[in-house]
């Protein structure tokens, strides 16, 4: 996305050093000047951005944290949505792409229960006649899931003003 939208800045976040290293190596080799990386635990994300600083949050193929006891660790839990609200612009968008049906359904329920505004939802992104913009950009995991003929779930939404 950073190559496609050179006028915007992109920050990849992960705790795993190998992923950060791979991304940093790529942006260095390809001289991509509008991308950077943070190696942090997502539980601290709100400490790194000012109010209204971020226009979109992309959550692509996160660990679904399948155990019920891990719900608060899901990157789309109410706790994380509250964190995103501290820095997301009022018209900002949260995107989720996943191969995990349970995570998708959990997120959909969370968003509906909180009264957030759903922009797009699908249980099989690549069977959509009119795919949302930028869905042609795929992660390594996404390519693996597609090759295995697994459906890709997608949800985009705006957070309501007060969480």
What's the CATH number where 80 sits? 3.40.50.150
Catalytic residue flag (residue 136): no
- Which of 14, 63, 102, 136 is catalytic? The answer is 63
Residues 69 and 57 in one domain: yes
Q: What domain range includes position 78?
A: 42-158
- Number of structural domains the chain divides into: 2
- Assigned domain for 135 exists: yes
Residues 4 and 63 in one domain: no
Model pLDDT, residue 163: 61
Q: What is the pLDDT along the chain (163 residues), one digit of tens a residue?
A: 999 999 999 999 999 999 899 999 999 999 999 999 999 999 999 999 999 999 999 999 999 999 988 899 999 999 999 999 999 999 999 999 999 999 999 999 999 999 999 999 999 999 988 888 899 999 988 999 999 999 999 999 999 977 6
HEC secondary structure over the chain: CCCCCCCCCEEEEECCHHHHHHHHHHHHHCCCCCEEEEECCHHHHHHCCCCCCEEEEEEECCCCCCCHHHHHHCCCCHHHHHHHHCCEEEEEEEEEEECCHHHHHHHHHHHHHHCCEEEEEECCHHHCCCCCCCCCCCCHHHHHHHHCCCCCEEEEEECCCCC
Residues 100 and 32 in one domain: no
Full-model pTM? 0.94
């Amino acid at each position: 996305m950073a190559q496609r939208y050179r006028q915007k800045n992109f920050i990849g976040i992960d705790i795993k050093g190998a992923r950060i290293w791979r991304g940093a190596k790529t942006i260095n080799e390809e001289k991509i000047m509008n991308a950077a990386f943070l190696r942090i635990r997502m539980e601290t994300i709100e400490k790194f951005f000012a109010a209204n600083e971020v226009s979109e949050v992309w959550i692509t193929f996160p660990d679904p944290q399948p155990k019920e006891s891990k719900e608060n660790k899901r990157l789309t839990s109410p706790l994380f949505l509250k964190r995103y609200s501290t820095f997301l612009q009022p018209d900002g968008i949260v995107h989720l792409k996943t191969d995990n049906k349970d995570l998708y359904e959990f997120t959909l329920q969370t968003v509906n229960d909180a009264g957030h505004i759903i922009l797009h939802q699908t249980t099989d992104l690549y069977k959509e006649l009119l795919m949302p913009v930028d869905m042609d950009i795929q992660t390594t995991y996404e390519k693996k899931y597609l090759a295995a003929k697994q459906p890709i779930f997608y949800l985009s939404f705006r957070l309501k003003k007060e969480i």
